Amino acid sequence: MPSTTSSPPTMTHSTISPAVLYWGTPVVLITTLNPDGTSNIGPMSSAFWIGNRCILGLGTSSQTTQNLLRTGECVLNLASDDMADAVNGLSHTTGTKSVPEYKLQRGYRYVKDKWAAARLTPQNSTKVAPLRIQDCQVQMEAAFRGTYEMLGGAVQVIEVEVLQTHVDEALRLPGHANRVDPDAWRPMIMSFQHLYGLRSGKVAPSTLAKIDEEQYRM
Ligand SMILES: Cc1cc2nc3c(=O)[nH]c(=O)nc-3n(C[C@H](O)[C@H](O)[C@H](O)COP(=O)(O)O)c2cc1C
């Protein structure tokens, strides 16, 4: 029997059936090229990262998905926790002219110029055609690498490769050419449709962080 020095926490679990499992993920503003050459902005948060790849969960009918599958390019602009006005300005909008019925029922409307709706400023990219969002401290230019259909084709799980990463100087870890200071980066987190930031400072030293970041480079 292992010895314990403190008593176990008192938790009472009960079974629930959540409609969504949005436990908290960063908000990404994806820019993609519309057929007319303008750049669309699609806010999303079903995103995670492996090496230099990102996996995105996107509704198939979204303009972002259609543009990404057609052109093979996007920019992943990360929202920081002071960008609620921009995220809310993009909420309930789509760049798809013919708004799908399920979106109409949720109050979505077609917006041609997402930049004006969110009061965001465009900036040229270096490796892909869609514009970057100048207001975002992190911008990753990326290329389509593969897709997997989910839920009978309603959702696409899309893999993209990050080709070029741009970060605001304020986020760089002093003394390192390629590192971000996690104490400086304040991502916006979407949890069960609400917008959060990370609380200030680390909760505890991380054992994982003993691994040199360069060992993850692919
Ligand atoms: C904070 C936030 C997070 C969202 N997360 C996702 C997501 O992870 N996947 C998704 O398909 N839609 C997500 N949406 C809804 C899309 O933004 C919505 O489908 C929108 O119409 C996409 O724009 P587009 O059609 O111009 O691409 C999210 C919206 C907001 C505001």
Q: In 3D, which of 126, 146, 139, 130 has the Cα closest to residue 71?
A: 130
Report whether pLDDT(72) > 90.
yes
Task: Indicate the pLDDT class of residue 1, thresholds 50, 70 and 90.
Answer: very low
Among 36, 62, 99, residue to substitute to test ligand 1 (most atoms within 8 Å of Cβ): 62
Mean pLDDT of the chain, nearest integer: 94
SS (H, E, C) 101-158: HHHHHCCCEECCCHHHHHCCCEECCCCCCCCEECCCCEEEEEEEEEEEEEHHHCEEEE
CATH architecture of the region 25-197: Roll (2.30)
Residue range 65-91: mean pLDDT, rounded: 97
pLDDT tens readout for residues 108-135 = 999 999 999 999 999 999 999 999 999 9
8 or 45: whose pLDDT is higher? 45
What pLDDT, on the 0 to 100 scale, is given for residue 111? 98
Give the residue extent of every domain in the chain: 25-197
pLDDT tens readout for residues 154-213 = 999 999 999 999 999 999 999 999 999 999 999 999 999 999 999 887 778 888 888 888
User: Ligand 1, atom 15: nearest CA belongs to which residue?
Assistant: 44
Query: CA distances (Å), 123 to each of 30, 100, 160, 168, 208, in order?
Result: 14, 30, 21, 14, 36
Whole-number Å distance, alpha carbon 156 to ligand 1 midpoint, is 13
What pLDDT, on the 0 to 100 scale, is given for residue 202? 79
pLDDT tens readout for residues 181-194 = 999 999 999 999 99
Which residues does a 6 A CB cutoff place in the pocket of ligand 1? 27, 40, 42-46, 57-59, 62-64, 87, 91, 94-96, 108, 190
